[in-house]
Amino acid sequence: MKVVVFGSGSFGTAMATAVARNGHEVVILSRSEEITCGINEQHKNMKYLTEFELLPNISSTCSTADALHGCDFIIHSVPVQASLAYLSERRDAIPPHVPIVSTSKGLHSELLLTMNEIIPQALGREHPCAFLSGPSFAKEIMRDMPTAVVAASSSEELAIQVQTLFKTERMRVYTSRDVIGVEVGGALKNVFAIACGIAEGCGLGYNSAAALVTRGLSEMRKLALCMGAQEQTLSGLSGCAHMLTCSSRALRYMLIFLLKAWVT
DSSP string, 217-233: HHHHHHHHHHTT--GGG
CA distance 171 to 175: 13
CA distance 205 to 180: 33
Q: Work out the angle between the directed axes of helices 115-123 and 179-201 (0-180°, nearest 10).
A: 120
CA distance 88 to 116: 15
Single out the catalytic residue among 47, 139, 189, 222. 189
Instruction: Decide if 139 is catalytic.
Output: no
Side by side, which strands form the sheet with 2-6? 58-61, 25-29, 2-6, 73-76, 100-102, 129-133, 147-152, 171-176
Under a CB-based contact definition with an 8 Å cutoff, are residues 13 and 53 in contact? no
Within the chain, how many helices (H) and strands (E) appear?
11, 8
Quick one: which of 169, 174, 173 has its CA closest to 144?
169
Nearby residues of 27 by Cβ (< 8 Å), 6 or more positions away: 2, 3, 4, 5, 58, 59, 60, 61, 66, 67, 71
CA distance 77 to 6: 6
Active-site amino acid positions: 189
